[in-house]
């Protein structure tokens, strides 16, 4: 039954696409989302509003009497539904990733971009959860496990063939992303193998040493360049991918995404960020509630995790559901993340909803899943709100975003429907079942000392 | 110094048998589970037992009862399979000293009792209790081929003797690649199954020896491991088999056929592939926590399996189970909520964490519904217990207000 419901619009779309191909004079197709409750995030909710999409961008949004649906537009009737921006996950491990290996604690030159399997079912499941932009990160078993990559889930009827099809780009064309760093216990390895630290003091020492090396590397390069900006090849230092990455961090091009749980570890990150002047987002922040004022004063944003109970490990012993609300109240820009596989991408709304249960405002919670995360990845001009000029990444929900009973019914990326709950294939990813899951867990390299209690 | 002594004395007092307080709860909606929903109702708990249930107009609250109020009142939840009490709140860290749910020194150790590891003062108990759980079936975790015994307890912070309902309930076994780890562990599925059969056949021989002993000469030497398996062979204790993939579930059912033991299916991620077989076997399913990680052997789990079990008429209950690194699945009502929203619906979901597990565990005469004569175990909520944004506002165990936190 759902097959026949589905095939019709697909046929129509196919015809439209064929017409477009055959006759270049036909203008770009407009899609109009009508009748639903629009939650633009950066503006108040619009009941029964209209949003127009053309060329993959949002072109207009407003009340039904203010935005006219042009003749010939494809109308998506969202009456009784809630429409909001696609969710932005600032911290995910899907895609069968693996970056730095066990050879050393600081490997900023290694890219997670080079490890991603675009055919991983994790991407389909993320779309089922309403996620459209992700920061895919290597793990936290290192002080720096490498570069992260920001992706946009352009998954239509056909799966992207390579990672490049879904990668956001810096203005220079390079894959866009941040740098994953970590402190606390994950990256502390008592055996001291491969130069890994055994204490927090040593962890900070190693990081400071490498940043100072990067500063000296920069000075060498500057000395090799004359007044007109021409480099003297003989004076240029050998290329060093690790240090080149840190220069991007020092230049503010690449944001540090820093795993940190305990309040003193959080303050260590703020201290290092101040010393070297890098931009940073604090991730997890289990004890962020203890130093919310200090984080606010440093004007550093937080991407928090919310799991169901404290004590996943010692450094998360004081994790509380109240954290998001306390950070919000202190004036800290706050997002949540899935940390998928730690929590499931399909249940991302749950993190924000439980934060509301524990004191966060509804508006803060909705921003924490969208615009706040976009800002933490320098993507706020592209995504995170339903704003004319931004990418047409949006989701259609069956009801209140913060209710357990609400389902993501459709996910759209750049004006294309990429998930439809009424399609049995998509439903499989949304609910689970035979063939929905991932064969292997993400490769985190250096967690063996933490995970040894679990077989396999 | 003196304050320390006072605290110690107080601790001793608090740990003694609980003088059941007298409590009444007024609620806008009472879900009794065993009977119809009561609007504007009252539940009276006297001397630890439910003394009266009914509309406020018909039930008077006796003098001396503390009166609590709730929007929604439900029976205290029963977690059909957990490891809490053996698993502590710290979890999976070198420095942790509260991780007694996995013993890897040998693959088959049914002689390990749960009561010898259960910590009734564990902080994690306090945490899950504050979300409405009043009874747990807990014990050794899935992992080793036969990991040990399970027990049933109330979640009160008290002495072991006072908390325990059944000191020995079942024996936990694992038929999955997870059993292929630790000293002497099997390396394949075939070997896993062979070793389990060998253990049961050995127990059969031991049982025969015990039964043929006529009192002449020395009795057969005691064997704690085999004694536990004899209880399984005698049908006194279920063999709770953790199996996720279809072939492992089929293996568990084969075991039941060969040895005529009561096999309970634990986790059972792919049980939807064998629903007819499971139903025919009569094995109850302790279905995996709904939000368990969908990777590796649980890669094909589904949010809708609980609903499918209900449709098929297979006895089941929802559990929190055991998740190792950064466990999320500790709060039963959260796991139930996802099932409720994926086809199971409110009533059946509530039953799957109250009366259904109580029946499976053989304790329905005491817990699982709000009925006169049952234990005064209640959970108070300020709205639909399954909604993300409502709160558990109080928990009563045998008439004692065990949590006043707003969660």
Residue-wise pLDDT for A157-169, tens only, equals 788 999 999 999 9
Kindly report, residue by residue over A204-246, the tens digit of the pLDDT.
999 999 999 999 999 999 999 998 989 999 999 999 999 999 9
End-to-end CA distance of chain B: 35
Distance CA A217, CA A223 (A): 10
Domain boundaries, chain B: 2-75+371-403, 77-360
Phi/psi at A273 (5° precision): -65, -40
CATH H-level superfamily of A87-384: Metal-dependent hydrolases (3.20.20.140)
Provide the pLDDT for residue A11: 38
Print burial letters for A378-414: b (CB count within 10 Å at least 16), e (below 16).
bbbebbbbbbeebbbbbbbbeebbbbbbbbbbbbbbb
Provide the pLDDT for residue B91: 72
CATH class of the domain defined by B2-75+371-403: mainly beta
Question: What is the DSSP pairing of strand B133-139 with strand B146-154?
Answer: antiparallel
Provide the pLDDT for residue A312: 76
- Token pair, residue B2, equals 């003196």
Mutation choice for A interface testing from B309, B338, B389 by most A CBs within 10 A: B389
Provide the pLDDT for residue A10: 38
Provide the pLDDT for residue A445: 60
Q: What is the residue-averaged pLDDT of chain B?
A: 93
Provide the pLDDT for residue A3: 38
Comparing A444-448, B273-277, B321-325, B380-384, the range with the smallest average pLDDT is: A444-448
User: Is residue A178's pLDDT more than 50?
Assistant: yes
Distance CA A403, CA A384 (A): 21
- Nearest CB to B301 within list A341, A432, A455: A432
Q: What percent of chain A has pLDDT over 70?
A: 90
- Nearest CB to A357 within list B340, B341, B388: B388
Average pLDDT over residues A106-118: 96
- Nearest CB to A449 within list B94, B127, B297: B94
Q: What percent of chain B has pLDDT over 70?
A: 94
Distance CA B387, CA B371 (A): 25
User: Is residue B338's pLDDT more than 50?
Assistant: yes
Provide the pLDDT for residue B20: 62
Provide the pLDDT for residue B5: 42
Provide the pLDDT for residue A2: 36
Read off the pLDDT band of A446 (50, 70, 90): low
**Residues from chain A contacting residue B328 (CB–CB below 8 Å):** 307-309, 312, 342-343
| Cβ contact B291–A347 (<8 Å) | yes
Distance CA B357, CA B363 (A): 9
Please check whether residue B25 touches A, CB under 8 A.
no
Provide the pLDDT for residue A357: 98
Provide the pLDDT for residue B92: 60
Domain boundaries, chain A: 87-384
User: Is residue A155's pLDDT more than 60?
Assistant: yes
Provide the pLDDT for residue A23: 41
* Predicted-assembly ipTM surpassing the 0.95 threshold: no
Mutation choice for A interface testing from B79, B123, B274, B388 by most A CBs within 10 A: B388
pTM over 0.80: yes
Average pLDDT over residues B208-219: 95
Q: What is the residue-averaged pLDDT of chain A?
A: 91
Angle CA A390–A425–A135, to nearest 5: 40
Q: How many Å lie between the alpha carbon of A436 and the closest alpha carbon of chain B?
A: 6
| C-beta separation of A392 from A58 below 8 A | yes
Around Cβ B142, how many Cβ atoms within 10 Å? Answer: 26
| C-beta separation of B318 from B288 below 8 A | no
Provide the pLDDT for residue A437: 86
Kindly report, residue by residue over A357-389, the tens digit of the pLDDT.
999 999 999 999 999 999 999 999 999 999 999
Average pLDDT over residues B316-326: 91
| C-beta separation of B202 from B174 below 8 A | no
Provide the pLDDT for residue A218: 97
| Cβ contact B178–A347 (<8 Å) | no
Domain spanning B77-360, CATH architecture: Alpha-Beta Barrel (3.20)
Kindly report, residue by residue over A186-215, the tens digit of the pLDDT.
898 866 677 999 999 999 999 999 999 999
């Amino acid at each position: 039954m759902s097959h026949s419901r589905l095939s019709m619009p697909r046929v129509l779309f196919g015809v439209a696409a064929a017409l477009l191909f055959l006759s270049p004079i036909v203008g770009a197709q407009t899609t109009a989302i009508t009748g639903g409750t629009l939650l633009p995030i950066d503006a108040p909710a619009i009941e029964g509003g209209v949003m127009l999409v053309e060329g993959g961008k949002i072109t207009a949004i407003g009340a039904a009497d203010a935005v006219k649906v042009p003749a010939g537009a494809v109308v998506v009737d969202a009456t009784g539904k809630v429409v909001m921006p696609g969710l932005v996950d600032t911290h995910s491990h899907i895609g069968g990733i693996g970056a730095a290996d066990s050879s050393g604690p600081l490997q900023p030159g290694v890219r997670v971009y080079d490890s991603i399997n675009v055919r991983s079912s994790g991407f389909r499941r993320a779309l089922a959860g309403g996620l459209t932009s992700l920061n895919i990160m290597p793990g936290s078993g290192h002080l720096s496990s490498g570069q992260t990559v920001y992706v946009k889930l352009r998954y239509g009827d056909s799966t992207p063939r390579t990672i490049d099809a879904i990668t956001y780009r810096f203005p220079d064309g390079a894959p866009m992303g941040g740098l994953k760093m970590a402190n606390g216990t994950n990256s502390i390895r008592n055996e001291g193998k491969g130069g890994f630290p055994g204490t927090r003091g040593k962890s900070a020492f190693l990081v400071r040493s490498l940043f100072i090396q990067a500063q000296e590397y920069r000075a060498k390069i500057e000395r090799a360049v004359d007044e007109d900006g021409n480099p003297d090849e003989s004076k240029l230092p050998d290329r060093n991918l690790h240090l080149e990455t840190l220069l991007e961090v020092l230049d503010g091009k690449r944001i540090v995404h820093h795993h940190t749980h305990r309040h003193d570890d959080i303050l260590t990150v703020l201290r290092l960020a101040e010393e070297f002047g890098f931009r940073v987002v604090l991730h997890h922040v289990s004890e962020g509630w203890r130093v919310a004022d200090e984080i606010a004063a440093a004007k550093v944003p937080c991407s928090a995790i919310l799991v169901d109970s404290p004590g996943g490990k010692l450094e998360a012993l004081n994790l509380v559901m109240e954290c998001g609300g306390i950070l919000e109240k202190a004036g800290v820009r706050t997002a949540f993340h899935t940390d998928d596989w730690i929590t499931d991408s399909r249940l991302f709304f749950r993190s924000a909803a439980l934060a509301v249960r524990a004191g966060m405002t509804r508006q803060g919670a909705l921003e924490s899943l969208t615009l706040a995360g976009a800002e933490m990845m320098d993507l706020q001009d592209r995504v995170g709100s339903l704003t004319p000029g931004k990418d047409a990444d949006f989701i259609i929900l069956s009801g209140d975003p913060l209710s357990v009973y609400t389902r993501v019914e459709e996910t759209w990326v750049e004006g294309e429907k990429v998930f439809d709950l009424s399609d049995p294939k998509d439903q499989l990813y949304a609910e689970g079942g035979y063939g929905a899951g991932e064969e292997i867990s993400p490769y985190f390299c250096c967690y063996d000392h933490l995970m040894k209690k679990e077989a396999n | 110094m003196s304050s320390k002594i006072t605290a110690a004395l107080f601790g001793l007092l608090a740990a003694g048998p609980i003088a059941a307080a007298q409590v009444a709860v007024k609620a806008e909606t009472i879900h009794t589970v065993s009977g119809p929903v009561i609007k504007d109702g009252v539940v009276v708990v006297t001397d630890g037992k439910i003394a009266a249930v009914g509309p406020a107009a018909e039930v008077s609250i006796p003098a001396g009862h503390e009166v609590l109020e709730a929007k929604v009142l439900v029976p205290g939840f029963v977690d059909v399979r957990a490891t809490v009490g053996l698993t502590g709140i710290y979890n999976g860290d070198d420095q942790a000293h509260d991780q007694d749910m996995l013993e890897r020194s040998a693959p088959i150790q049914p002689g390990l009792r749960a009561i010898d590891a259960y910590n009734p003062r564990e902080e994690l108990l306090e945490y899950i209790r504050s979300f409405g759980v009043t009874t747990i079936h807990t014990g050794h975790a899935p992992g080793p081929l036969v990991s040990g015994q399970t027990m049933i307890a109330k979640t009160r912070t008290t002495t072991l003797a006072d908390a325990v309902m059944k000191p020995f309930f079942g024996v936990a076994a694992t038929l999955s690649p997870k059993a292929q780890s630790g000293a002497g562990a099997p390396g394949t599925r075939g070997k896993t199954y062979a070793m389990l059969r060998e253990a049961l056949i050995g127990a059969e021989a031991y049982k025969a020896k015990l039964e043929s002993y006529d009192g002449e000469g020395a009795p057969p030497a005691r064997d704690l491991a085999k004694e536990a398996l004899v209880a399984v062979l005698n049908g006194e204790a279920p063999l709770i088999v953790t199996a996720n993939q279809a072939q492992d579930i089929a293996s568990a059912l084969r075991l039941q056929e060969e040895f005529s033991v009561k096999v309970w299916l634990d986790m059972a991620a792919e049980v939807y592939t064998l629903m007819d077989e499971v139903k025919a076997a009569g094995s109850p399913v302790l279905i995996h926590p709904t939000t368990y990680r969908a990777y590796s052997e649980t890669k094909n789990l589904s949010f809708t399996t609980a609903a499918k079990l209900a449709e098929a008429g297979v006895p089941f209950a929802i559990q929190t189970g055991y998740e190792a690194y950064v466990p999320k699945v500790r709060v039963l009502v959260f796991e139930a909520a996802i099932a409720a929203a994926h086809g199971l619906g409110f009533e059946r979901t509530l039953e799957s964490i109250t009366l259904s597990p109580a029946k499976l565990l053989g304790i329905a005469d005491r817990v699982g519904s709000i009925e006169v004569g049952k234990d005064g175990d209640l959970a108070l909520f300020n709205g639909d217990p399954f909604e993300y944004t409502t709160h558990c506002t109080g928990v009563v165990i045998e008439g004692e207000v065990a949590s006043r936190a707003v969660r």
